[in-house]
Structure formats: structure tokens, C-alpha cells
Structure 1
């Protein structure tokens, strides 16, 4: 499994950002190989993000090439390049 953490800065008010995220929820639920996505807000003003859990690198790469992934900057009015980290999950505490 792969853990992907994306942090982005947006000029949108939190209510608008959350509204847009909810409007796109169904699209993310239908992505093959995306096991979970957590929508996050950091302690920094205007910084939000997503924590994704993927079943494989292949699923992540397919998503990265999709129109949905490419639409994120405009959907959330990102004002600078996002910070992206990827890690292999080597052990998980609980199984479902």
C-alpha cells in the first residue's frame, strides 16, 4: 500500500473549499485502487490537503494521469505548487 500526503495553499474561504470537496466526493469514491482519502486542514492559515491510501503504485499513477487529478489546482484555487509526499506502508495496526 502507498500513503500519499498532499498539502496545498488556497485563497478560498474554508466553507467554499469544503463545498467544492463535497461536490467532488463521488468522483473520488469511484477511483480504482483508492482505499481511503482524508481531507485535512493544517495549522497554517489557508493550508489544506489530502491523505490518500492507495492499494498500489499503479493505481496512484493512473489517478495522477487522470483529468480529476489535473483539475485539483483550479477546483481549489491553489496559489502555489502543492507539497507532495509518498511513502510505502509497511505495517498497519488494524485490518478494517
Structure 2
């Protein structure tokens, strides 16, 4: 499994950002290979973003090449460049039913 943590600064107010996240959640439920997505707010730095969990590198790469991913900047009025970190999951602390085995 692949983990992506992405954050950004926005020109929008908090309530507008959260509402946009909630509106877009349905689209993310349909993304092939996206096991989970946590919508986040770093209150200390006032950055918003997400922690994505993908079932494979291919699923991750397909999402980041998609129109849904390309629309993030406009949807959230992103200022500057997002910070993105990719990582391969070694193993989880707790096994979760329904998740694929890790490498």
C-alpha cells in the first residue's frame, strides 16, 4: 500500500474549505484503489489537505494523473505549491479487515 500526505494553503475561509471537502468526498469514494482518505487541517500552520491510502503505486499514480486531482488547486483556491510526501506502507500497527496485505 502507498501513503500520500498532501497539504496546502488556501485563500478560502475554514468553513468554505470544509464544505468543499465534504462536497468532493463522494467523488473520492469512486476512485479506484483509494482505500481511505483522511481530510485534515493543520491548525498551527493553517494548512489543509489529506492523508491518502492507496492499494498500489499504480492506483496512486492514476489518481494524481486524473482530472479530480488536477482540480484541487481551483476547488480550494490553493496559494503556492502543495507539500506532498509519498511513502510505502511497511506494516500497520493494527490489522484492519478488508485491507489488502502489505509488502
TM-score using structure 2 length: 0.89
Specify the alignment match of 2:14 in structure 1: 14
Please give the residue correspondences for 1:58-73 in structure 2 after superposition, counting only pairs within 5 Å: 58-73=58-73
Cα deviation for residue 8 of structure 1 reads: 0.4
Provide the residue aligned with 2:100 in structure 1: none
- Name the count of aligned residue pairs: 95
**Correspondence for 1:55:** 55
- 2:99 counterpart residue number: none
Moved over 2 A (4+): none
Which runs of no fewer than 5 residues in structure 2 stay unpaired? 97-103
Report the structure, 1 or 2, having the larger strand content.
Answer: 2
> Aligned residue for 1:75?
75
How far apart are the structure 2 equivalents of 1:40 and 1:60? 19
Partner of residue 40, structure 2 = 40
Distance 2:45 2:81 in 1: 16
| Gapped regions of structure 1 (runs ≥ 5) | none
Deviation sequence 1:37-92 (CA, Å, 0-9, x none): 011111213x1110001100000111111110000000000011000000010011
Residue 32 of structure 1 aligns to a residue in which SS? coil
TM-score, scaled relative to structure 1: 0.96
